[in-house]
Structure 1
């Protein structure tokens, strides 16, 4: 009997441990991810080789359990976010992940565009439709359209851009209807939605006019020669644009921009402009662990709270020897590398 009493604390401890792993809390935890070499991920047809490497840096984001919450609470370079800070109103985890994967696809397109244009190679586009990033709870599209749908036709007219759709809807008023043809997972569907006033359905909104309640973005496929493949699997988000562009451009041109160095970095890319990202501190930690020697960080035109300043502070805090380089454009990053002296063997 006494032996049974002795076992009870161990059983309780085991049950608590299992609960701490499998019981989800209403929080997300982000922490340093990996720094991945891009050459195996990106392949330009008949592209040039490089001595060093460009690296993609990531942040690991996951639903918190008791164990990971406590680790983040008392650890360093881990952040705790409430569900509302990560998911939009009425947004599911599936919708969030779908949106992140599309942002990655958009990041690839922007990177290919910047790299090929810099190399003087023309690019073409094939329009794929208007991508539905999210729907507004309570508005007509809610529960009818889904994140990931592509709108193709409105009232019999083939859509050529999100601006065209928005201009068309702007001419309508609450109560008017619009018939839409959309694509979902390769299959076409049709629906008719009645427009409603924004301010009636979006708390605190003073936005005039009526609509169906979607966040639309243009979805384009870029066509280039030589061909380029970018394999990112399940990595999501828009923050890899700058580093994708550098790797693609380096394979397109004979001069090796790496000069033998291990180069990491981060930043969104849109029309050649480098934009800020979240988790810069965690990406500095990941890059340092991977042995990066140079790190490109968004400068945000010298803002006092820029990614660059946060990166410098973190690198100093972890005593990293990485050289942190501020950039506002893709051209600036290329210019820095062109002037860089080759690494001594």
Structure 2
């Protein structure tokens, strides 16, 4: 082999190695997700209360964008204040498909909207209440006894003959069973009702490292219910998922129901889950949502304070705002009324 052929062969090998490295860097996914700031969506564009009142200011829903991390995104996230890395197991349980994950996120968003309507209507003195019909299975834990017996979308309506119409009842009844017990579960699937016996088993180590807790093998069940309300309200959030817009939905709906404009002309952003009692819960991606709100020109940002415990969303939001050097006011809220009281003080 002459020198020219030798050099050509070495050059060819280098290109092959370089190509393989580029493929690995860009296409091999790591067990992490990365998040970046999303958008601040003006809520009058997505929420319309029948015969609702107009107002001058703005309430904004804040979002993040999330993707599976490759080597590039992982490394970039380590050195970027705008990005955050989240272990895969914190986002979705092992074995959950993309379709199941999307379905679960959409169901949580629907639940968030309904709770927002309930809280807002009750505070405004309008009619809103739930009719409960059972408990929907949203995720199956792999290698537990429910796998192959229940499916995502099944509606549990009874346990050992006792009617189950909402999640808390399900948890209360299952809490009376011990690991090794067999539980008769009655469920509805495609308009047919059946009963299956499921054994209570220890949770996998990644769910319960101590191995002290057990269950039938479903995760994140939700109550199947219908919200009865008057007046009607339309909410269109496209493909946004999750429960984190609950607080801002509630504020927007409430402001359309009453005559007074509680924004006082300000641009108000924020994030936080909401429950039936108006409590504001912790959410993910708070740092990125501060960035998104600042870039959208918000004057005020509401952040869950969780009654002031250590490491709250509010504390993280304040740190993010200081890093940004924003003039946006970061306001702690533990309850819907905290947000109302702050706005009334403006």
Q: Quick check: TM above 0.5?
A: yes
Counterpart of 1:58 in structure 2 is: 63
1:285 corresponds to which of 291, 295, 308 = 291
Q: How many angstroms apart in 2 are the aligned matches of 1:175 and 1:335?
A: 50
Structure 1 residue 163, shift from structure 2 partner: 4.1
Is the partner of 2:127 in helix, strand or coil? Answer: coil
Contact 2:134-2:165 at 8 Å conserved across structures:
yes
Structure 1 residue 20, shift from structure 2 partner: 4.3
Q: How many angstroms apart in 2 are the aligned matches of 1:36 and 1:280?
A: 15
C-alpha spacing 1:50/1:188, structure 2 compared with 1 (3 Å): farther
Q: How many angstroms apart in 1 are the aligned matches of 2:56 and 2:204?
A: 59
Is 1:83 the counterpart of 2:88? The answer is: yes
Give matches, 1:101-140, under 5 Å: 101-140=106-145
Is 1:39 the counterpart of 2:44? The answer is: yes
Counterpart of 1:343 in structure 2 is: none
Q: How many angstroms apart in 2 are the aligned matches of 1:230 and 1:75?
A: 34
Is the partner of 2:44 in helix, strand or coil? Answer: coil
Q: How many residues align?
A: 336
Is 1:249 the counterpart of 2:259? The answer is: no
Counterpart of 1:221 in structure 2 is: 226
Q: How many angstroms apart in 2 are the aligned matches of 1:14 and 1:91?
A: 32
Structure 1 residue 165, shift from structure 2 partner: 4.0
C-alpha spacing 1:189/1:61, structure 2 compared with 1 (3 Å): farther
Counterpart of 1:269 in structure 2 is: 274
Contact 1:135-1:142 at 8 Å conserved across structures:
yes
2:196 corresponds to which of 186, 192, 197 = 192
Is the partner of 2:147 in helix, strand or coil? Answer: coil
| TM-score using structure 2 length | 0.84
Counterpart of 1:99 in structure 2 is: 104
What RMSD in Å do the two structures reach over aligned CA positions? 3.1
Contact 2:154-2:187 at 8 Å conserved across structures:
no
Consecutive unaligned residues of structure 2, counting only runs of 5 or more, are none
1:338 corresponds to which of 337, 341, 344 = 344
C-alpha spacing 1:49/1:179, structure 2 compared with 1 (3 Å): same
Quick check: 213-222 or 123-132, which moved more? 213-222
Quick check: 45-54 or 62-71, which moved more? 62-71
Q: How many angstroms apart in 1 are the aligned matches of 2:175 and 2:57?
A: 52
Contact 2:121-2:128 at 8 Å conserved across structures:
yes
Counterpart of 1:205 in structure 2 is: 211
Q: How many angstroms apart in 1 are the aligned matches of 2:121 and 2:113?
A: 12
Structure 1 residue 221, shift from structure 2 partner: 2.0
C-alpha spacing 1:75/1:13, structure 2 compared with 1 (3 Å): farther
Structure 1 residue 145, shift from structure 2 partner: 2.0
Quick check: 156-165 or 211-220, which moved more? 156-165
Q: How many angstroms apart in 1 are the aligned matches of 2:128 and 2:45?
A: 23
Structure 1 residue 135, shift from structure 2 partner: 2.9
Contact 2:133-2:225 at 8 Å conserved across structures:
yes
Structure 1 residue 15, shift from structure 2 partner: 7.2
Q: How many angstroms apart in 1 are the aligned matches of 2:63 and 2:28?
A: 26
C-alpha spacing 1:70/1:177, structure 2 compared with 1 (3 Å): closer
Q: How many angstroms apart in 2 are the aligned matches of 1:239 and 1:168?
A: 29
Contact 1:87-1:93 at 8 Å conserved across structures:
no
Counterpart of 1:309 in structure 2 is: 315
Q: How many angstroms apart in 1 are the aligned matches of 2:200 and 2:310?
A: 42
C-alpha spacing 1:199/1:312, structure 2 compared with 1 (3 Å): closer
